[in-house]
Structure 1
Amino acid sequence: MNLKNIHIGSLIQSKVEELEIPTSRITKFLDCDEESVEKMYLEESIDASILLRWCKLLEFDFFRIYSGHLILYSPPAKVGRVVKHKEDTLMFRKNVYTQEVKNFIIEKIKTNQMTASEVISKYRIPKTTLFKWLKKE
């Protein structure tokens, strides 16, 4: 899966084909005609409310794909940026990385497209986190 250039319509179409969902069920659920569904398959981006309906119909969180993109390709935080927290607030960063992101990174290393150090520096993934992923593979 290409997390850099997301074409959500083709991803939805792939999931529909994988699950073998009949077009009649899709049109009834989305309250639209077949032509509209076919147009959605060709769209690179889709309105969030429609995407949410697709998520429910296909029982798949397409928004995670965008979250994975943000994790991998968002600009680095500014140096010296201070984040203030309330004393009573706890912040948990566990499970920040989706399985799609983990698979993407592991695939880059396994196919020798990137080294572990390149992944760590480019995507700012902690060294211990990366090596835990690789160990589980």
Structure 2
Amino acid sequence: MIKHNVLVDFKDIHMGNLIKLRVVEKKIGLLRICGFLKCSAEEIEKMYISSSIDSEMLLKWSKLLEYDFFRIYSQHIILFAPCNSDQGKEQPKEDTVLPNFRKSLYTREIIDFMLNEYNSGNMSRQEIHKRYNIPKSTFHKWLNKYNSELKRSEE
């Protein structure tokens, strides 16, 4: 079985398309989907063409399709949220009742996205470092480690 990874556009996310891709991949029938989500076939089709989905509905889709669709939004934040201007300075911990997450968590999808931007000539190493605040040494390690894997998978 040949598996092809779809390159997700983390800047302009179209959640309906991604859900539909996962439904096809998991081979889940429309009757099961309608029963699980408690909605009609027409409502399902509307969701497939919608770029965004209500968070409660997205949670249901995530459970049904056994895929964390919320991570796609997390990847967007990692890539496109503005960097903190006081990043190098020691900052006091912010008091919050909400869970605190690390921002510098790079998934394989993020790494592949940045390598694709570099390999296609869309961005230089300096542009990637400046725009996404990726340390130069980290990006260099990614080039050495993952670039050869990408080339092998394309062959």
Q: How does the TM-score come out when normalised to structure 2?
A: 0.77
Which contiguous aligned blocks of 4+ residues in structure 1 show a shift greater than 6 angstroms? none
State the 1:82 CA deviation: 5.2
Name 1:71's counterpart in structure 2: 78
Give the Cα separation in 1 of the matches to 2:143 and 2:60.
35
- Mark the runs of 5 or more structure 1 residues left unpaired by the alignment: none
Question: 1: CA distance between counterparts of 2:25 and 2:93?
Answer: 44
| Deviations, residues 102-136 of structure 1 (Å, cap 9, x unaligned) | 11101111112111111011111112221222221
Tell me, yes or no, if the aligned pair for 1:8 and 1:45 is still in contact at 8 Å. Answer: yes
Equivalent position SS for 1:69: helix
Which residue of structure 2 aligns with residue 47 of structure 1?
54
Aligned runs of 1:106-125 on 2, under 5 Å?
Answer: 106-125=115-134
CA distance in 2, matches of 1:125, 1:63: 23
C-alpha distance in structure 1 between counterparts of 2:11 and 2:30, whole Å: 29
Change (3 A) 1:129 1:64: same
Task: State the structure with bigger RCO (CA 8 A, min sep 6), 1 or 2.
Answer: 1
- Aligned pair count reads 133
- Distance in 1 between the 2:63 and 2:104 partners? 22
Pick which of 94-103 and 30-39 moved more: 94-103
TM-score (norm: length of structure 1): 0.86
Aligned to 1:132: 141
Whole-Å separation in 2 of the counterparts to 1:74 and 1:14: 27
The amino acid of 2:92's aligned partner reads K
The whole-number CA distance in structure 2 between the counterparts of 1:101 and 1:33 is 35
Paired residue for 1:10?
A: 17
- The one-letter amino acid of 1:125's match is I
- 2:150: which partner in 1? none
RMSD over equivalenced CA pairs, Å: 2.3
Query: Contact conserved, 2:118 with 2:125, CA < 8 A, in 1?
Result: yes
Offset, 1:78: 2.6
Inter-partner Cα distance in structure 2 for 1:52 and 1:92: 19
Q: Does 1:84 align with 2:92?
A: yes
